[in-house]
Structure 1
């Protein structure tokens, strides 16, 4: 697993939303450890709508900075020394 290198700048509307957020004073702080509450809620809403899964955004969703961090966190949570 390596770092991704996108070959596009992404959709214009996403870039504009990022600029608006920065100008509004958002995005200059680290997020809460498990992720921004609104994002965790959006994840659970999506999973419910598309897959019928009913998860708690407060206790069952963890936002990570990518797949490598997610896999490492999962292993650290589940594996004991000697496993």
Structure 2
């Protein structure tokens, strides 16, 4: 586990980033300047940011990043289907 900008980056999320081809700077941008923050299961926060035709969702629990993934289901997850 490592700390970056006040967030705990677990080995799990780092391996997921490589597997899913998600750049670290996109996760940092999403955490620093999200289009929206939703509440998920177990009161986890979901930071969401639209990048072209995809939505990056970063799920965090406290200060620990749980997972991150891209989805094309923008209207399902982002309010009104567009960034604010």
Q: Same fold (TM over 0.5)?
A: no
Larger helix proportion, structure 1 or 2?
1
Larger Rg: 1
TM-score normalised to structure 2 length:
0.24
Larger strand proportion, structure 1 or 2?
2
TM-score normalised to structure 1 length:
0.25
